[in-house]
Structure 1
């Protein structure tokens, strides 16, 4: 296997295009929520998604004979990280979409995660303070968010409830990222992802049992489920590791800023979600703020 720093590891055309493919895959996660939402309550859909993903990943781990995490402490840390990175994050996103928040708006809100993570890591650095570039990026990011959602709070599109859920998803993935950086040791992504999804299922399943709306296994829901399990959960994470092994992590990190506008375009094409001049300006400001903070801090998600 080539080392991550090999100068020839990112020369092939496929590796050059793969970061953009990964970002496109990641962007479809918000769109899939819109496809599946009319046919299943959010927690029930996610619980089944975790079950199917765990079954497939366990089979992959067994066939590949990769090592499982060692020690009770690592299992505990992976379970907690999974509750935050999958359970809390996806649960908040899906519940917010279920209550009317558009795919573009929720993608923009949770797209602030690299910004908040970079700000936190910068504040915890040697000097323990945030530089002027980070403050500028923070102001741009939140200013853009205010432009997009500020005038719509209280309307059917953005209510206080779905906005709080989206912000909860943002907090969950931010805290989960920091928790994983601090506590989780390096381990094969297939076994680690399996344990994290078990943690997400432990959090989500009890909430799914409280939902009264039935799951309708119609073709549209089956398609959304298959895409979520095979493409997002298994394919996306595997592609990311494949890229990191070939030294393409920087390209992925840079292109992650394009997830909110990419999601907005997909939602416009598929669901006719409005693309107003104000929302485009807000998205541009937010993307610029996130890019500025992450680039200046050198943080890699």
Structure 2
């Protein structure tokens, strides 16, 4: 890697991560009608495992020792297993995606709290102000969608969503503390083994494992495997390893705004002036939360 590339990568990686992560909503929406949620996730995780295992064996990647593998397994159980199963189940059960996205606005705050307790990362005034601005910006982006029509949610949907957000928030801190500085290829294999076992078990217990194979479903599966489960997750793990966990978590404030933009470009969904203003406020919040202490 050249010095110029090494200098550009820290700037481009967070932006690329936000864009890739935001496209997950598109892939999930496209594939959901053709498969039950846990069956879809199990197939996704299994496909990723086969691909990563082949890459690791061909490239002779360094495998973690049993203790390191266990920690990678736990972080994968939290970040992929609990979080994604909660997302897919809640939305499949009828919870509006916009409301769930609004709840994910809690993630940076929860992550900063866990990072302070576990990693002793300092919560500065910039962090606090950035988090507040981020929450305000997310609300400005999503509230116009939520006020557009009637919807209903159940207590179990809200509970599952909250557990999912707590899981990925604590999982990123656990990853930083216990499973950093590992070979991303082989460590991620252990992560997806945990997720596949968890979602596969739920699929066997609660679903019929029925899949309607179609062009849309195959495209969604390939997209989620290559772009999300490998591309975006590798970037997330790299960002966690290279920077403060609370700073990395603040990037999730940008996801609802970017998702709204992608939906506008692909599906023609309107973006109101309030939503544009919310995106600007959110970006300011991320910049503040990510500033280093001088």
Name the structure 1 match of 2:126: 133
Name the structure 1 match of 2:111: 117
Indicate how the Cα distance of structure 1 residues 161 and 110 shifts in structure 2: closer, same or farther if over 3 A, else same.
same
Q: 2:207 aligns with which of 211, 233, 258?
A: 211
SS in 2 for 1:262: helix
- Whether 1:224 and 2:220 are equivalent positions in the alignment is yes
Name the structure 2 match of 1:293: 289
Post-superposition offset of 1:269: 3.5
Name the structure 2 match of 1:199: 194
Listed as ranges, the gaps of 5+ residues in structure 2 are none
Matches within 5 A, 1:163-182: 163-182=158-177
Residue-by-residue CA offset, 1:224-252 (whole Å, 9 max, x unaligned) = 0011112222233456678999x999xx9
Give the Cα separation in 2 of the matches to 1:272 and 1:106.
Answer: 21
Of the structure 1 ranges 109-118 and 88-97, higher mean CA displacement relative to structure 2 is found in 109-118
SS in 1 for 2:5: coil
Asked if the contact 1:122–1:129 (Cα under 8 Å) also holds between the matched residues in 2, the reply is yes
Name the structure 1 match of 2:81: 87
Q: 1:268 aligns with which of 260, 264, 271?
A: 264
Post-superposition offset of 1:183: 1.6
Indicate how the Cα distance of structure 1 residues 208 and 279 shifts in structure 2: closer, same or farther if over 3 A, else same.
farther
Asked if the contact 1:189–1:241 (Cα under 8 Å) also holds between the matched residues in 2, the reply is yes
Give the Cα separation in 2 of the matches to 1:145 and 1:243.
Answer: 22
- Whether 1:74 and 2:74 are equivalent positions in the alignment is no
SS in 2 for 1:156: coil
The alignment's TM-score, normalised by the length of structure 1, stands at 0.77
Indicate how the Cα distance of structure 1 residues 161 and 140 shifts in structure 2: closer, same or farther if over 3 A, else same.
farther
The alignment's TM-score, normalised by the length of structure 2, stands at 0.79
Post-superposition offset of 1:40: 1.1
CA RMSD of aligned residues (A): 3.9
Residue-by-residue CA offset, 1:168-198 (whole Å, 9 max, x unaligned) = 3221110101111222242110100001000
Post-superposition offset of 1:76: 1.9
Post-superposition offset of 1:200: 0.5
Indicate how the Cα distance of structure 1 residues 109 and 276 shifts in structure 2: closer, same or farther if over 3 A, else same.
farther
Residue-by-residue CA offset, 1:14-43 (whole Å, 9 max, x unaligned) = 997565444322211122111111111111
